[in-house]
Each structure stands twice: as structure tokens, then as C-alpha cells.
Amino acid sequence: MTNDRSYMEGRREGGVRVRIVGWAEAGEACLGIRTRVFVEEQGVPMSIEVDGLDPTCVHALAVGPGGEPVGTGRLMPDGRIGRMAVLPGWRGRGVGRGILEALEAEAGRRSMSRVRLHAQVSAQGFYEKLGYRARGPVFEEAGIPHVEMEKRIG
């Protein structure tokens, strides 16, 4: 599944574009970003990062002006957004927001009325600025403190 709509073009610096893609099309690029961010940078074991669910999900892939993959995220069939990752050199430039907007728009196209995610506590403020609200206590996932968050869409 491919969607060539650009969610960021003209609104974010650096000419980054975000597309909705399928795992067969872009899995290698998405997993490469996630490996750098989660496994190498944050120390998440590869056995946790690769959970076997990717083929059932819809993915957002952010690419830089030269076509290089710079960020990713996924939408699970139950409306959970996850695996949000942006390469270090691209953080703070609107890439994460663009990925999240693309996944929310896709959820809306799939008639979902809400999305939820497990946010790393260090990123909770980012999600709150974009309309997400925390639900429940802090918990550990892959050895990292997280909080469940939810947003109504549509």
C-alpha cells in the first residue's frame, strides 16, 4: 500500500516528505531506522524490537531531500501507533510530528475514532503538545519508562 501524499512538504524545514507505505515496500528502511534508534542508541534488544507484527501494520516513512530514510512509525490494526523513531540529526525539525500526522490521517481513513500509543516518558511532552492525554501509571517496556496515551481523531 502506497500513498504518495506528502504530509510535510512546504510545512517543515529541509524538504522532508512522509509517505504511508507497506512493510513489503519499505520494511528494510523502517527497520534500519528503528535499529539505529532503539537498538543501538537506546539499548533495546533486537528480539524485542522485531515482534513479527510489522507485516500487519501500516507504516509511515519520512525521507530527506535526497531520498534518504530519516524517520518512521507504524499504525497497528487496533489503532495503536508505535515504533516512532527519528534519526538523531533530524530531531527537532518537525519529522516526528509529520510522521504522527500521517499515521493519524491513515487511522481516520480507516474509520478509527481514536489512536493510542505507549510513549517513552521522555517524549510525553511532545505527544501532549499534539493532543495526546496520558492514561494510567508509568510502566516499563523494554527497560524504558513509558506511559499509555490516547487521542480522539476525526
Whether 35 is covered by a domain: the verdict is yes
Q: Work out the average pLDDT over 27-47.
A: 97
Separation of alpha carbons 15 and 17, rounded Å: 6
- Tell me the residue range of the domain where 104 lies: 13-152
Q: Work out the average pLDDT over 14-41.
A: 95
pLDDT attached to residue 15:
87
The residue type of 47 is S
Whether 98 is covered by a domain: the verdict is yes
CATH of the domain at 45: 3.40.630.30
Whether 6 is covered by a domain: the verdict is no
pLDDT attached to residue 9:
41
pLDDT attached to residue 154:
75
Rg of the chain's alpha carbons, rounded to an integer? 14
Whether 3 is covered by a domain: the verdict is no
Write the CB contacts of 105 (distance below 8 Å, at least 6 apart in sequence): 7
Ramachandran angles phi, psi of 10, nearest 5°: 85, -5
Half-sphere exposure of 129 (CA within 13 A, CB side): 8
Dihedral sign from CA coordinates of 78, 55, 45, 95: negative
Whether 8 is covered by a domain: the verdict is no
State how many domains the chain has. Answer: 1
Q: Is the pTM of this model over 0.85?
A: yes
